[in-house]
Amino acid sequence: MELKMMGLIINLLIATQPKWQRFIAERQALLDLLKTKFTHSGKTILALMRNLTLDLEECKDSANDKQVELLTCMKKLTEEDSDIGEEEELKEKMRSLVLPDSKLVGIKREDIIGIDDAIRSMREGIEYAIRYPYLFENGHKPWKGILLYGPPGSGKTMLAKYVAKIVKDDLQSTGKKLVFMNVTPADLASKYFGGTEKAIKAMFDVARENVKKNKPTVIFFDEVDSVMRRRTSQETETVRRVKTMFLTQLDGFEDNSQVVFIGATNTPQDIDTALLRRMEKQIFIDLPHSDARKCMIKHALQANISCSEHVDGFTDNQIDTLVKDTEMYSAADIATLMRSAYLTAISDMLDDSNYYEVTTATVEERNVGRSRIVALCSTNHADCMTKKQALDLGYSFRAPRVDFDIIKKTMQVVRPTVDSKTLASILEWKNAREQNI
């Protein structure tokens, strides 16, 4: 269609405008060039057509009635195609938010410890609706939306990805392929008037297209409160239109069990009540309890260990002390603490130390092809070398062990990011909602 229109425009330009008459003999060659150069770039074609149409405007006064009518028609078509091009561009942007399988495969059960009830509720909300849609053909409906709320770093995003991975694996035998869209407010933001509303519509349109291709879709919207904040009298017309579009599009999936919308927030008390009514399933993700923290710390200290096993180099009292000292830490805080402790151990190991050659490599070291290894020298080793000597001779350093003292020292720097006031406000909202049910 675009190339046909360009042909009409070029004919009209040649007939009415002197600067284009030199192309009359090369008309076909010009069209072939445009076709070769622009066939795979719809946006460039539309930009070129708009420029050609502007050239036509300059000669409008010298054109006859038939040519003016043709010009008006082509301008209208160009504007319509411009809207179509923008819509497709937004849809392509939304498709890029689909997480590839590689981003889901690596998520393990150990990454989300201590929230078994939340996992079960999430599976009910996603798997039942998507895998067994016939169970909702008798007048019953699945959850319209799911809201994950809790303090920052409690694992809301990781939970959604993990459950999506489970459901995706379970659906393989049915021929369906689950699509997980990870959306943030920044993905919808636009500096143009009406741009955010168009992006919201494109997000839900992509989900509809996926369903038609037998691809059930989970839309995970992080920080949903930033788009659907509680209404105020000072709210602008633009903000109201964005919220209206969001709610309208969400309502469009009321009878479609193959699309599940999940919102996540750290401040549920700030969310607009109209959205809360649509997020019928609300799941609280709390800070990890003591048993969960113990398990997280053990997994960080020693790979492939169960929560009940003993950690090499630590006493039970030391582990219990770490669990007690991390009482207000979120799951993300504990991960940051243990990562920082390991980096501190590396720094201590590489800080002007002496080393000795290790005669026997571990299984892990052999698996990555490291055979010449040095470790920190102690008073029991006579043949020690400096760091420079070890590097010049091609040795690798053995990964250091994180001990109790290093973790305690790191705690002085890595503090919990959730304060008691933040947690109290979330719990107050939670209790108020439960009392009103």
Q: Do 2 and 46 form a contact (C-beta atoms < 8 A)? A: yes
Spell out the alpha helix ranges (H) of 174-325: 185-188, 195-212, 237-251, 273-278, 290-301, 316-325
Residue 126 in this model has a pLDDT that exceeds 80: yes
pTM for this entry: 0.75
Q: Do 3 and 28 form a contact (C-beta atoms < 8 A)? A: no
Calpha distance 149→171 (Å, rounded): 27
Question: Average of pLDDT values for 401-419?
Answer: 93
Chain-centroid distance of CA 342 in Å reads 27
Instruction: Using pLDDT thresholds of 50, 70 and 90, give the confidence band for residue 42.
Output: very low
Calpha distance 392→59 (Å, rounded): 77
Mean pLDDT of the chain: 80
pLDDT of residue 40: 41
Instruction: Using pLDDT thresholds of 50, 70 and 90, give the confidence band for residue 423.
Output: very high
Tokens found for residue 400: 């250091």
Which of 150, 118, 127 is CA-nearest to residue 281?
Answer: 118
Residue recorded with tokens 């079960």: 120
Residue 404 in this model has a pLDDT that exceeds 80: yes
Residues 314-342 pLDDT 10s: 999 999 999 999 999 999 999 999 999 99
Question: Average of pLDDT values for 392-414?
Answer: 91
341, amino acid identity: A
Which long-range contacts (C-beta less than 8 Å, at least 24 apart) are formed by 370-375?
370/396, 372/396, 373/397, 373/398, 374/398
Q: Do 175 and 131 form a contact (C-beta atoms < 8 A)? A: no
Higher pLDDT, 177 or 111: 177
Residues 134-174 pLDDT 10s: 888 777 888 888 999 999 999 999 999 999 888 888 888 88
Calpha distance 61→57 (Å, rounded): 8
Residue recorded with tokens 């920082």: 340
Tokens found for residue 199: 């992006």
Residue 7 in this model has a pLDDT that exceeds 50: yes
pLDDT of residue 5: 57
Residues 71-91 pLDDT 10s: 555 555 445 444 556 778 888
Residues 182-233 pLDDT 10s: 999 999 888 777 888 999 999 999 998 998 888 889 999 999 998 888 888 7
Calpha distance 399→376 (Å, rounded): 10
Q: Do 289 and 154 form a contact (C-beta atoms < 8 A)? A: no
